[in-house]
Amino acid sequence: MPVATLTSKGQITVPQAVRKSLGLRAGDRLDFVPDEEGGFKVIPLRKDVSVLRGRFAGRTARPVSLEEMAEAIEAEACTRAR
């Protein structure tokens, strides 16, 4: 299993096997998403929107309907307009 060491500056070098598996190159950005078991998933940030599928799973107690989203956007717009 690949292992990385955290430096005093909070940096790590992602092991080559992990970089290769995730298709990472120098300059790529990573997101650390909390999982349900108290750990984190490492998600490479891509420009293709389709990779966002499932990324926010578990971050809300229940799904939000389109109507609820519209109401929240309207409420925020009203707040900002004041």
pLDDT of 20 reads 92
pLDDT of 68 reads 92
Q: What percent of the chain stands above pLDDT 90?
A: 41
Give me the chain's average pLDDT, please.
Answer: 86
SS (H, E, C) 2-34: CCCCCCCCCCCCCCHHHHHHHCCCCCCCEEEEE
Per-domain residue ranges for the chain?
Answer: 16-81
Does the global pTM surpass 0.85?
A: no
| pLDDT, average across residues 47-70 | 76
